Structure formats: structure tokens, C-alpha cells
Amino acid sequence: MKLEDIIKKSTLQTKIINPLNFFVKGISIHSDQVRNNFIFAAMKGEAHHGLDFVKDLLNYKNIAVVFSKSDKLPKDFRKSNSVAFIQVDDVRLFISKACSMFFRNSIKQKIAITGTNGKTSISFYVNQIWRKKNIDGASVGTLGVQYKKKLNMIPKLTTPDVINNHKILTKLSELGCEKVIFEASSIGLDQRRLFPIKFDIVGFTNLTSDHLDYHKTMNNYKLAKSLLFTSHIKKKTIAVINRDSKYSNFFLKLCKKNNIQILDYGKKASFLKIKSIKRINNIFEVKISFCNKDITLKINCCAEFEIYNMLCSIILVFNKKLQTNDLQIISELKNPSGRLEKIFDKKNIRVFIDYAHSPDAIAKVLSSLKKITSGKLILVFGCGGNRDKLKRNQMTREALKYSDIIIITDDNPRFEDPRKIRDDMIRNLKSDDLRKIKVIGNREIAIKKAVNFLSEQDVLLIAGKGHENYQLIKNKKIFFSDKIKAKEYLKKNEYFNY
């Protein structure tokens, strides 16, 4: 496709310096990936601006640099005969539209799920159900691209950047994939990483405090999530809504305003209504009202929120075609790695790892585990650096409600001083609360200490990193796995080996 065609079909107002018209061979947001006949999006990043790297592109042939009208282009760049400069109001919007034209796909059904918690588990469950039904499907999110055939594409973000998203769809399409489910993060939606994809089904799980370092206010956070229900819908899009979320009314009104059919779930729902949830030993007995019938499901899991995630996934897969027999699949679903994953169960001691890294998530996981704990509930967790600082103390206060022993340690400190993060987590706590807390910066030593605290009837939760097998410390990505380290020290402890 030629550059002039992409510019024309974008329907955006542009100002072009050094006009060129060449066959576009690629699009990039990273200057080091640019080659001849590429479009490069020069945007402002955390540390640098894309325009800072334009000088490195002047030796290439046929380059189009897209930049914002609010940015100033150096005069010496204007003299280049091999680079066209395209000024637009919104660089992300232009690149999103360009990607949709350049990277084609024939995926039959596209689904997206958004919400603070549950996205990864739901997309994982959806993929499991598709496999059980012999449907060729894939999921894109925190766990990367999950597909039956290995893809050499491992995104670093819950919602990959716009170019990778469209590349992934193209590649999956070439491999014969029929259906895809995306995890739609609030930041990803705000940055138009999924634009201009229109989804057949969109889902909402819940909304609690998170990412306020980026969004600043809960209202902004909510509005970012709502973009999935306004900018990414078709005429016949279906919305799957957790009716028990306190923000559900906002999303329900949005759906009604946009004439989106609603299939809700939860205790307040009309489509798939939960009548009761009872724990009987290690199994939940869930009574559901569906199609004027009462159905009882027996689900082997640890927490009620897992049941909600499973119900959401079953509706996302079957939607209007859901039948009572389909609900039995729920009892066969397995959790993804690092999501309330039980890694040890011996001598009446259980050890779990979980990805919980927000106040609501840590509260839900701990409250669930508290119900099955006869002895002590022990927690190891930390908070990430260069991320929402307000939630650090909130997470500790939630942890104190349920835990008997808390070990505060390092998560991914990134470029922040780890001691500062740990101090934020325990700031202004009462002396009685501080007696429950031990601060051990080294995550490995913290896990070792927690294992040594264990005795019969105890439960240990190691939270915050889940499936991740690394720690981000300054500019280094260091191999580290909570699961591997916990199992190593559980094996070494003589108490667990006789």
C-alpha cells in the first residue's frame, strides 16, 4: 500500500513536509526497528522523544516520520529528501489507522475483556473452553499470546502496543486462528493500542483503585475503561457485565445508550443469576438461575471471585447461545499459572502464589484464604516501583485485616529506592499493626523466612508477581520465580519431608 493512500484513507487532517509516495513495507514506534520504506511514529516517551532519534534515520530511503503538531521539527531535518514528515493532531490515532490498513486479518470473532481484576484468568478460561469445544482460538494479554501453535511474540504489556496488536492478529489469521480474546487495560485503551479494532463481544469485570499514577483520578480511570464500550463496538456487539460491581450501573447505562445487548452475571443479574454460594469442605456449591431453571454447580476452587471469572468466561464463549448443559464446563476449568495457584499441600499446610497487586485484589485473595485457614495466614508481598504510590499503604492496611504475619519485601523496584517503597507501605501504621509486620527487602530471604514460620494448619500466600519469573531492578531484568524459590525452601525444610 502506498503512503499517499494510507494518509488519504486515515481521513485525518495532516500537514506534509517533503512529500513522498512509496510502497510502505513496515510501521514502527521504535527507531531502531525502522528500515527502508517504513513509517515511524515519533512520540514522547518516559525518557525521550521519538524526534530525538530522527537523525539516525536520515541514511535510510523512503521514510515517513509522523509527529504531533504540538512538537517542533528541527530545521535541518526539513532538508532531507528521503524523509517525509507528517504532522497530525494525534500521532497514536494516525498510527492506529495506518496499522489497520497495513496489517490485515480474517479473525472471525474478536472479544475484549476489561476491568481492574480478573482479565487474565477470564481470557485463560475462554481459551480453555474453546479448546474443549475444538475451536481454534487465542488469547492476548499478561501471559503473552496463548495459542496452540507457538508464536515468537511475547508482549511486555497486558495490552501490547498498537503495532504488535495488529501484527499478532495478522499472524494468528495466517495460522488459521478463528477467535481471539484480548485483555484490554485502561492504559492500553487510553493510548489507543486496540484502535480501531471493533469487537463482537466486550466484557467488564470490576473497577477498583489502580493505575492512578497514570489516570490521576478514579473518574479518569473509569472513562478509560469505558472506551471499550464506545470506541470499539459494532451495531451487534454484545456486552457481558458483572452486575455486582459497584460501577456496573455506569457501564449498563453506557451499553443502553449505545444500543448494546447486555448479558449480565452475578447476584443482581437477570441473565445468569447467582442465587447462592456455599463452601462445603474444599468445594463451592453454587446455585444459579438460568432460563427459568435452577442449576447447582460444584466447583473446586478457593475463592468466590474465581467463580465470577468462570461465569464471565462461559458467557463470553457462548453468549446468547448459552445452554444449561454448557455450564458444566465450569467444573473442568483450571487456573492460569500464578493466579491463586496452589504450589504446596502437605501436612495440613498450603502455599499459594498470586498476582494480586492492588488493594482490592489483595483483600479478595486474603479474605478467601482466611476462610480456609485454621492456623496462621502468612503473607509475603511488596509493591512495584515507579507505579501508583497511593496504593502502597492501602495494600498493607488491607493485608492487616486478614493476615497473622506479614513479610514486606521487594517486588519490582525498577528505578525507585526499594527502601522508600517499603517505608511507604508501613507509613503511619499503629504499633499493634507493626508487630505483625517484618520487613525483609531481599525477596528470596523473605520467602525463606515465611516458609520457616509455617506449621500445621497454616496457609502462606506469596503475592504480587504470580507467573512472573523476573525482578526489575534499575535497568536490569533479573531471573526470579516465587514458585521456584518457595518450592526450593519447602523441599529443604526438614519439617516438610518426613
The predicted pLDDT at position 46 comes to 74
The predicted pLDDT at position 427 comes to 96
The predicted pLDDT at position 157 comes to 67
C-alpha span between 283 and 67 (Å, rounded): 56
The predicted pLDDT at position 155 comes to 61
The predicted pLDDT at position 121 comes to 96
Band of pLDDT at residue 497, cut at 50, 70 and 90: low
% of residues, the chain, pLDDT over 70: 97
CB count in 10 Å sphere of residue 46: 6
* pLDDT higher than threshold 80 for residue 361: yes
Topology classification of domain 103-332? UDP-N-acetylmuramoyl-L-alanine:D-glutamate ligase (3.40.1190)
Band of pLDDT at residue 430, cut at 50, 70 and 90: very high
* pLDDT higher than threshold 80 for residue 76: no
Average pLDDT score, the chain: 93
Band of pLDDT at residue 12, cut at 50, 70 and 90: very high
pLDDT tens-digit series, residues 193-242: 999 999 999 999 999 978 878 889 999 999 999 999 999 999 999 999 99
The predicted pLDDT at position 156 comes to 64
User: pTM of the prediction?
Assistant: 0.90
pLDDT tens-digit series, residues 465-477: 999 999 999 989 9
pLDDT tens-digit series, residues 238-258: 999 999 999 999 999 999 999
pLDDT tens-digit series, residues 339-354: 999 999 998 999 999 9
Topology classification of domain 341-497? Protein-Tyrosine Phosphatase; Chain A (3.90.190)
Q: Does domain 3-100 have CATH number 3.40.50.2300?
A: no
pLDDT tens-digit series, residues 311-343: 999 999 999 999 999 999 999 999 998 999 999
The ranges assigned to domains in the chain are: 3-100, 103-332, 341-497
CB within 8 A of 461, min separation 6: which ones? 351, 352, 353, 354, 365, 366, 369, 377, 378, 379, 380, 381
pLDDT tens-digit series, residues 263-293: 999 999 999 999 999 998 879 999 999 999 9
The predicted pLDDT at position 44 comes to 87
pLDDT tens-digit series, residues 96-145: 999 999 999 999 999 999 999 999 999 999 999 999 999 999 999 998 89
Angle at 456 between CA 452 and CA 459, to 5 degrees: 70
Q: For residue 17, list its beta bridge partners.
A: 85
pLDDT tens-digit series, residues 142-200: 988 999 865 555 566 677 899 999 999 999 999 999 999 999 999 999 999 999 999 99
Q: What is the arithmetic mean of pLDDT over 364-374?
A: 95
